[in-house]
Amino acid sequence: MKAVSFNFEIHQPFRLKRYRFFDIGNDHYYYDDFLNDDIVTRIAAQSYMPAAETLLRMINDTKGAFRCSISITGAAIEQFEQYVPEFIDLLKKLADTGKVEFLATPYAHSLAALCDPEELAQQVKAQCDKLHSLFGVKPKVFRNTELIYSDDIAPQVLAMGFKGCLTEGAKHILGWKSPNYVYTAASAPKLKLLLRNSKLSDDIAFRFSDTSWDAFPLTADKYIDWIASTPADEQIINICLNLETFGGMQPASTGIFQFLEALPRFAAERGVEFWTPSEAVSKLKSVGELAVVHPISAADEARDTSAWLGNALQREALDKLYAAGERVRLCEDRRLKQDWWYLQASDHFYYMSTKHFADGSVHANFSPYETPYQAFINYMNVLADFLVRVDEQYPLSVDNEELNSLLKTIRNQEREIAELTREKESMQKNIEQYNIEHQARRPAPEPEPAKKPTRRKKKADV
């Protein structure tokens, strides 16, 4: 039986306002609320809302035969709650069907997996908690920012309790192998890997409305035929798309929504099923280990991390940001911690990429800046003010050695408190159990003999 797994990503960053050098130390609010409101509201109306409604109809019309997964960042959820709460209601309806799986992902769509494992764990936990509070779900499969993955990341994912991880089926990693199998991580054999089929994903994302494409026009029956005609032993095809593809990158006038809605009918005719990532992980056995020494991603033709770390500007900004990680996690300033997450969004570093402007890439159209150098200068001005605020909480006069000593002390105390708490709970349970057993073994008390009535003395007797 052939199966296809659709995963839809939803993310919107908190875009920064134009922040001048002279604002440093004077203005601690960094975001362009008007721009964020405009973009989120417009994209929700053009893309997210009609796409979610289409998915809901597909599930209902097929009586649950159509299934998919969604990965949505906490930063996006916050903006939908503020600007488009009706979209959150639609996501709740999708969750209530039981046919949509929500995946774990970094809260801020950050690059923490490459820089700060502790930060990654905190963000993933926060995003999972957010999903549980809103939709009542607990993610079982992990999808990193832009499908970034490596052998160093795999043990972190497994340690967070996930059994599967979605990543890119990069050709330079696979070689002659196919992405249409389940693999295991070489550095964490208990972690199963699901690989994105880049060709079939990009056929929809980038080539759907390209009239110069030799396969144009792409119809639902043609697309399902391509999936059904893959070798019989290739059981799972993972299609990963930004939900903004529908109605955004591919406008509604191209027929993209009709294409999506027609897929289940032709899939049923060709015997192709729809699975969620968790179903693929539980049903299919691994065909072997996959080693990924250097990080891969779904970005650009290189499928590496150069989209965010490809030049000196990006690396300097990223290094300065994550150098403050330990200090930020120590502080109790809620607003500072919120800014810390918002500033980690990979989008800020993506805007600094020089190669997207140099090669005329379509990705340059997503940047709110005229040049990557403007993106860098604006971000560094914001970061400079942010670091001043961090310094006020934990001064730079505290050197790394002293800070590490302080952190070690705090962590040891946390572990000691946790251990004492566990011992206390264990002792309480033992005492309760002892009382129950002792009460059961104790013989019933004998009834006391009736007391003889006492005769009151008369005066004559005295």
Among 9, 101, 119, 146, the active-site one is 146
Q: How far apart are CA 389 and CA 340, in angstroms?
A: 11
146 is catalytic: yes
**Residue 167 corresponds to which tokens in the numbers above?**
């990543």
By CB atoms closer than 10 A (0-12, 13-18, 19+), residue 227 is: buried
Q: How far apart are CA 55 and CA 99, in angstroms?
A: 10
Phi then psi dihedrals of residue 210, to 5 deg: -80, 105
Give how far Cα 358 sits from Cα of 288, 372, 442, Å.
Answer: 39, 10, 86
Strand, helix or coil for residue 334: helix
Q: Chain-centre distance of CA 202, in angstroms? A: 21
The DSSP result for 295-314, as a single string, is: -B-SSTTTTSSHHHHSSHHH
Q: Do 261 and 59 contact (CB within 8 A), yes or no?
A: no
Q: Quick one: DSSP state of residue 287?
A: -
Strand, helix or coil for residue 7: strand
- Helical (H) or strand (E) element with 79: helix 74-83
Q: Do 278 and 140 contact (CB within 8 A), yes or no?
A: yes
- Compute, in degrees rounded to 10, the torsion defined by CA atoms 169, 175, 176, 177: -40
Q: Quick one: DSSP state of residue 253?
A: G
Residue 427: HSE in the Cβ half-sphere, 13 Å Cα cutoff: 6
Tell me which residue has tokens 């509201």. 41
Strand, helix or coil for residue 32: coil
Beta strands 182-185; 188-196: pairing state: antiparallel
The DSSP result for 46-69, as a single string, is: IIIHHHHHHHHHHHHHTTT---EE
Catalytic residues: 146
